[in-house]
Amino acid sequence: MADENVSPPPPIVMLPWHDPARARMEAAVAGSRLPHAILVHGPAGVGKERFAAALAAALFCTGRGSSLEACGECADCALSRAGSHPDLHWLRRLEDKKSISVDQVRETCEQLGMTSMRRGYRIAIVAPAQAMTPAAQNALLKTLEEPAPRTLLVLVTPRPSRLLATLRSRCQRIEIARPPVPAALEWLGRELGGPVPPGLLDVAGGAPLRAIELAPHFESLEGQMCGLLEALVAGRSEATATAADMMGEGLPVRLDWLDGWLGQLVRSRMLPTGNQLTVRGGAVLQRTAAEVNISAAFRMMDRVREVRRLLDGSSSAPQLLVEALLVELAAAFGRAGVR
């Protein structure tokens, strides 16, 4: 079924850094200019699906004031919070499927064309939208060409470029950006109930919800990666062995760690003398941070991100990609790290 959703419903309250996006939608509602389709995009871990769910709850809400925020107390809010609002349809990949099919889209379009069960909006949220097949996107396009009154289609994706240009052109784009670092750290401190581990937000790419996911395992990740990287740049380990240690389900997170460490290194070098940040790691990594050519650091950041993109594309030789990356890193940083 199109509405199959194996995960708990997202909360119906927006996050602090959603305010700019909420304000845009609020102005559209106040001016009777709410579009029939919006494209919610931004990096992973900033709460795009949460924004979509909270927006839907606010539009359904019968107890809200002028602000586009669900009251949390009316009957519609209770249904939204339980994930059972009859006029909200989630369109996701079915279990064990890699894509959203044309049949799922057609079913959802039929539901949007029906009479509202609660005499309000009918809303469909497609997440992740880039998982739709080309045929599914074209089927959705037909609905957007002749939208029914008081319907809203919300496409949620970190990669808008993977959607058909004709589909994107019919959506109002709403960006959910990463919050400023101080605001993100303040929110994380409240959520974690204590100090935020150094480097956690870097590894999460500045995305607070991603940081929350990583937090329980961050200490062990930090220890493992500092040890592997220090052994590599000091010449105590070969790239082949290091790559083998990095493989497995945790490889994307380990590459995120490396990206975050390189970013911290670059920032430390760009600050005025005497104000440098302390780069995480032991004595070898500290020397590396102080002496490595900053152009090499930027180049390695680009290479890490390139490998991530290739792996996201289901590369058939992930270990060879990681080995080649580590060979370059050892060549660029090894001389600085050994004395």
The first and second tokens of residue 123, run together, are 């809303």
Residues 188 and 159 in one domain: no
In a domain, 85, yes or no: yes
Residues 106 and 185 in one domain: no
CA–CA distances in Å: residue 78 to residues 50, 51, 63, 86, 126? 16, 17, 12, 12, 22
In a domain, 127, yes or no: yes
Give percent above pLDDT 70 in the chain. Answer: 94
Q: pLDDT (tens digit, 9 = 90+) per residue, 201-252?
A: 999 999 999 999 999 999 999 999 999 999 999 999 999 999 999 999 899 9
* Alpha carbon distance 80, 74 (integer Å): 10
pLDDT above 90 (res 62): yes
pLDDT above 60 (res 5): no
pLDDT at res. 276: 52
In a domain, 5, yes or no: no
Is-contact 125 7, C-beta < 8 A? no
Instruction: Name the amino acid, one letter, at 216.
Output: P
pLDDT at res. 287: 83
Q: pLDDT (tens digit, 9 = 90+) per residue, 257-307?
A: 999 999 888 888 887 654 455 778 888 888 888 888 889 999 999 999 999
In a domain, 57, yes or no: yes
Q: Say which CATH number the domain at 55 has.
A: 3.40.50.300
**88-91 and 151-157 as β-strands: parallel, antiparallel, unpaired?**
unpaired
* Alpha carbon distance 248, 269 (integer Å): 32
* Alpha carbon distance 62, 74 (integer Å): 6
pLDDT at res. 277: 59
In a domain, 6, yes or no: no
Is-contact 203 214, C-beta < 8 A? yes
pLDDT at res. 312: 79
For the chain, counts of helices (H) and of strands (E): 15, 5
pLDDT band at 3 (very low <50, low <70, confident <90, very high): very low
Residue tagged 């940083």 (tokens) = 333
Domain residues for the domain of 155 are 16-175
Q: pLDDT (tens digit, 9 = 90+) per residue, 171-190?
A: 999 999 999 999 999 999 99
Final residue of a structural domain among 125, 144, 175: 175
pLDDT at res. 274: 47
Residues 29 and 129 in one domain: yes
pLDDT at res. 206: 93
Q: Say which CATH number the domain at 292 has.
A: 1.20.272.10
Q: What pTM was estimated for this model as a whole?
A: 0.86
* Alpha carbon distance 173, 70 (integer Å): 22
The first and second tokens of residue 71, run together, are 């009251």
pLDDT above 80 (res 335): no
Lowest mean pLDDT among 3-12, 111-120, 250-259: 3-12
Domain count, the chain: 2
